[in-house]
Amino acid sequence: MIHATPATADPNPILDIAIGFMGAQQLFAANRIGLFTALVDGPKDVATLASKTGTATRVTRMLADAMAAFGLLKRTDGVYALGASAKAYLSGKGADLDLGPYLTFLEEISYPHWLQFGDTVRTDAPGDLGMTDERWTTFLAGVMTYNRLHADMFAASVDVSGHKRLLDLGGLAPYFAIRAMEANAGLTTTFAYAEGFADKIIGDIETAGLMDRAVIEEMATPEARPEGPFDLVFLNHVIHRFNPEQNQRILENARAAASTGAKLAMLDFYLDDDAHQRPIDAMHAGEYLVIDGTVVYPQREVTDWLAAAGWKVIDIISLPGSPRVLIATAI
């Protein structure tokens, strides 16, 4: 007789990673058929959900059960209701921030692109996005939605009170500075963005009613030397897009534009030296590499650049579902 022996180690970490794509595909499908928005007006059973989404009953049950398993839905006696996270981020127009466009980006752009990841590992080169105008629209809608989430988390965690002049250097979206100006009525912002981005950010600044406190300057990020002094500097989603030499120059130029004692907030994904690497940063290292060959840098390397440029790191803040923020002061 063969006797089963207790496992000496837990296989779940391996299996959770290996089958993670299954949950992702079910989430994408649930978003695509409108499962979450079908529950905005209250709990429903499977038959009602199937009718509202136009999906076969057994498929509806499968997706609803999967979302309940992940905590996005609540299931009670065969009746499903929105969980807190789904209500806040997947309930359409009533959401605090609808992440639907980001899920569409992941399903239609990112996920298929990851099918080239084997070649990226073999060659150390990004894959081919095969972009069309339609795919660019999906890409930008998704990425900018994700940036809005980052900005909301950033605004809730980074204190901008008492500052007067903000330099938003090399960013891709104005939401971080907009949130800062909304929190601090005495704050003015110079947006030093790459050429071609001015037209893309003016609409958001105007919608927020903040154009009277905004200056927009177009300049190449690695060479940008905006006129200061600034007592607050944002470098958000910048360093992963440039090589080490360019990043050193960017940080030096930012320091030259800052007054002594100014605060620098630098949001990005980082590979840390902690006993347990934060998973979202490590996963985005693969995402950035396969998408366009950009880099998630080790935190230690980034702090060395900062020190060489005249910045002292004083804190690092992990944002829920978002990158981390290195906080430094100009010395």
pLDDT over 70 for what percent of the chain? 98
User: How far is residue 85 CA from its own chain's centroid?
Assistant: 16
Q: What is the mean pLDDT of residues 99-114?
A: 96
pLDDT over 90 for what percent of the chain? 92
- pTM equals 0.93
pLDDT at residue 197, as a whole number: 81
User: Of 179, 154, 39, which Cα lies nearest the Cα of 95?
Assistant: 39
Q: Which residues contact 179 (CB under 8 A, 6 or more apart)?
A: 151, 152, 154, 155
181 pLDDT band, cuts 50/70/90, is: very high
2 pLDDT band, cuts 50/70/90, is: low
Tokens 């995402």, residue located? 287
Radius of gyration of the chain measured on its C-alpha atoms = 22
How does the average pLDDT of the chain come out, rounded? 95
pLDDT higher than 70, residue 288: yes
pLDDT (tens digit, 9 = 90+) per residue, 126-146?
Answer: 999 889 999 999 999 999 999
pLDDT higher than 90, residue 3: no
pLDDT (tens digit, 9 = 90+) per residue, 35-86?
Answer: 999 999 999 999 999 999 999 999 999 999 999 999 999 999 999 999 999 9
Q: What is the mean pLDDT of residues 307-319?
A: 97
pLDDT higher than 90, residue 297: yes
Residues 144, 150: Cα–Cα separation, whole Å? 10
Copy the structure tokens of residue 324: 């981390």
pLDDT at residue 4, as a whole number: 61
Beta strands in the chain (DSSP E): 44-45, 73-76, 79-82, 165-169, 188-193, 214-218, 230-234, 258-268, 311-318, 324-330
Read off the DSSP letter of residue 91: S
Q: What is the mean pLDDT of residues 160-189?
A: 97
pLDDT higher than 90, residue 268: yes
pLDDT at residue 7, as a whole number: 66
pLDDT higher than 90, residue 290: yes
pLDDT (tens digit, 9 = 90+) per residue, 196-236?
Answer: 887 789 999 999 999 999 999 999 999 999 999 999 999 99
Residues 260, 149: Cα–Cα separation, whole Å? 31
